[in-house]
Structure 1
């Protein structure tokens, strides 16, 4: 088998269906398997997988084991030569994996390969390519200077080496993942991707960023931005520094104190975040489905403009993309092309009566039921 895709799910059933729909398209011509590990979501996630994707290997955990352990459980079942760790709140283009295979063949001594991640509004997610977060780099970032934390030597559309990749999308040889020991299970959530990337570098491999391939990542859909989130996030940073930079005792102590201060400030910041509701001049539907048009019209109580392609002049518009009409690669292009014009986007997956979208990486997105 060529490829195993491991998706760890936690309480995002609708995003998971959209993700699986896009992945299913992307592996139509590939000898591949999909493994979904559910971390005791206690919702309809598992039933939806069994009903709509019977070919998927579903592993249902009886408790939330965290990101590292959950993914490691899935990888143990993987049969593919290659492995992709993928978040359930992502949408991949149809040519995603064929491009990754090709790039893996071309580069020297490949470790992990990542892609250009964009959020639901089309904005680039800078964590797609990062440098090693040494204590000095972390201090600068915690003080508001991210110039050394993110890899600005590569433009977002470029392909090239980078040190650290993000756990939402990590592509590599399955053998490499297993030989390196997989994700460190000391991390419950956050930091494990930095740790894995860094261990692969230390083992003599080179990680790469493939900026020419865009993947939609709604980001944070299975995470509530609360005190538990903050504790896990900053504890993960503490584990990483203690594990890999314990010789930097003076700097490490300073980082530890600043982490505590930053955590308190972030708690205040999260409470203050408010995303203003956008006001839309028009609602556009990219589809040829009259029934879908009627459903959206009834749900939103508004007139719907049906279009077959978008215009760069669209502004302040609510744009619904029917995946039966557009490929996911084209859907991602629509979102990125119109990202700076106060537009909002919703994607309706094939064969499902809902649509999904998000205007902010800070808050959970919106699922609109069309049934």
Structure 2
């Protein structure tokens, strides 16, 4: 088996069906399998997938175990030389899988790669190519400096906005919406860290992969569509909480020992402030 495609679903039935259909409509010259992990959805996703796509391997969890743990469930039974994390709210092009696997086969030092990801309006999903969230990178991103100075490398260490999205290059971090990982890299660094519930696990994985000597690579010779939720909608408290908890967890795990205590205090205080501001901003949003 060449490729194992892992899709985690939580109450995104129609998007998940659309995602699977796009994969099955693709034309790769490689063998692949699709593994769907459902986190206790209440929208009948598992039944619909089993009826419409019997070739898909389904795992039905009795509770929402989070993105990391669900993906790890899929990785544990995956048979492919490569593992692809693919969000349920994405649509791949007919040649996406073929292009990406040919790239990986031709570049054995690349541990993980990602393609260009666009939003439904055609704009770039900026998360598809990122730097690591160092204290300075996180500060400039969290407090808007990256938006004010989009072409300045100093202020865009995280989203790398100064780099051409249509050019290929090694980067620090990819995004879990589409992340193609070599089996040897997984065997070396381990699976996703399940301490991260639904954010930060992809950055943490990329950090460990790069630390182990592999290259993380952005390869925009193909692209996918990512249907993210509308920004005008209110977000559940848990989503806001887990996003900021992931920031703290990543810093503690990888950066805390590298910096002095005043820097660490400023980081934790900054994340706390950002968390409060996000809650206020979310409360002021219209429901739809």
**For the structure 1 residues 193 and 12, does the alpha-carbon distance in structure 2 shift closer, same or farther, using more than 3 Å as the test?**
same
Taking structure 2 as the reference length, the TM-score comes to 0.90
Check if 1:199 corresponds to 2:208.
yes
In structure 1, runs of 5+ residues without a counterpart are 276-362, 364-371
Distance 1:7 1:27, change over 3 A: farther
Look up the match of 1:171: 180
Q: Which residue of structure 2 aligns with residue 180 of structure 1?
A: 189
Q: Distance in 2 between matches of 1:178 and 1:59?
A: 22
Instruction: Say whether the 8 Å CA contact 2:120–2:225 is kept in structure 1.
Output: yes
Aligned to 2:281: 269
Cα deviation for residue 177 of structure 1 reads 2.0
How far does residue 44 in structure 1 lie from its aligned partner after superposition? 0.8
> Which residue does the alignment assign to 1:313?
none
Q: Which residue of 2 aligns with 1:123?
A: 123
Post-superposition CA distance 1:38-65 (Å, at most 9, x none): 0111221000010000010000011100
Q: Which residue of 2 aligns with 1:242?
A: 252
Question: 1:157 — aligned with what?
Answer: 166
Cα distance in 2 for partners of 1:31, 1:51 equals 22
| 1:104 match: secondary structure | helix
SS in structure 2 opposite 1:184?
Answer: coil
The Cα shift of 1:14 comes to 0.2
Q: Which runs of 5+ in 2 are unaligned?
A: 147-155
Cα deviation for residue 12 of structure 1 reads 0.3
Whether the 8 Å contact between 2:99 and 2:221 is mirrored in structure 1 is no
How far did 1:189 drift? 0.9
Residues 34 and 156 from structure 1, CA distance in 2 versus in 1: closer, same or farther, beyond 3 angstroms? same
State whether residues 230 and 263 of structure 1, in contact with CA within 8 Å, keep that contact through their aligned partners in structure 2.
Answer: yes
Instruction: Determine the C-alpha separation between the residues in 2 that align with 1:140 and 1:267.
Output: 20
Could you list the per-position Cα deviations for residues 268-298 of structure 1 after superposition, in whole angstroms to 9, with x for gaps in the alignment?
22233459xxxxxxxxxxxxxxxxxxxxxxx
Superposed CA offset, 1:296-352 (max 9, x none): xxxxxxxxxxxxxxxxxxxxxxxxxxxxxxxxxxxxxxxxxxxxxxxxxxxxxxxxx
The CA RMSD measured in Å over matched residues stands at: 1.8
Q: 2:28, 2:98 within 8 Å by CA — same for their partners in 1?
A: no
Q: Is the 8 A contact 1:154 1:160 kept in 2?
A: no
**Which has the larger displacement, 138-147 or 1-10?**
138-147
What corresponds to 2:14 in structure 1?
14
Structure-2 change in CA distance of 1:242 and 1:84 (3 Å): same
Looking at structure 2, the residues matched to 84 and 241 of structure 1 have their Cα atoms a distance apart, in angstroms, of 26
1:220, distance to aligned residue in structure 2 (A) = 4.2
What is the match of residue 150 of structure 2? Answer: none
Is 1:255 paired with 2:264?
Answer: no
Equivalent residue number for residue 40 of structure 2: 40
Distance, in Å, in 2 between the alignment partners of 1:239 and 1:27 is 40
Query: In 2, are the aligned partners of 1:5 and 1:86 still within 8 Å (CA)?
Result: yes
Moved more, 19-28 or 200-209: 19-28
Secondary structure of 1:26's counterpart equals: coil
Contact 2:234 2:286 in 1 (8 A): no
> What whole-Å deviation, never above 9, does each CA across 1:117-175 have from its counterpart, x for those lacking one?
11122211111101111112112222212212112353111111111110111002123
Quote the offset at 1:29 in angstroms: 4.2
Task: Give 1 or 2: higher helix fraction.
Answer: 2
Counterpart-to-counterpart distance in 1, 2:13 and 2:194: 25
